[in-house]
Amino acid sequence: MIRTAVPADVPVIHAMVRELAEYEKAAHEAKATEEQLHEALFGERPAAYAHIAESDDGEVAGFALWFLNFSTWRGVHGIYLEDLYVRPERRGGGHGKALLRELARICVERGYERLEWSVLDWNAPSIAFYESLGARPQDEWTVYRLTDEALAGLGGQR
């Protein structure tokens, strides 16, 4: 059911990224191309990794895209889950849980001590799902982000 993504999966991963962006009401922000995803996942220096969930009929049901982070407090790497997505018609079949189980297995096998991700505060079904697995919100932290003009300005490119 769960396998490591291969280069031939890039088009379906790209399509699911677009589907996820639409679900999150942010399709206008999803600008990555298939070429960029291919380079990030399979280029000379991969920046991210992906796993594919397949249904019993061999169809792609969902994916997880992740990268390594590092905890100065723990002194070891962890996994940051950038995207977890299961197509609506395939939800409830255990694919999301299987993807998270695979990432947790990788963490345990490699000695990573954290598996982290963000979820939109209005996404009640996903929050309930994550909490059912034992994940807990980190309410004391607020995510900040620099993009576009603010990033360019701070970086001296304006």
Q: Under a CB-based contact definition with an 8 Å cutoff, are residues 96 and 84 in contact?
A: yes
Q: In what order do the strands lie in the sheet with 60-71?
A: 2-4, 49-54, 60-71, 76-86, 115-117
CA 132 from chain centre, in angstroms, equals 19
Is 112 designated active site?
no
The H or E element containing residue 72 is none
Q: Is 102 exposed, middle or buried (0-12, 13-18, 19+ CB in 10 A)?
A: middle
Of 49, 85, 112, 130, catalytic? 130
Q: Any idea which residues carry the catalytic annotation?
A: 130
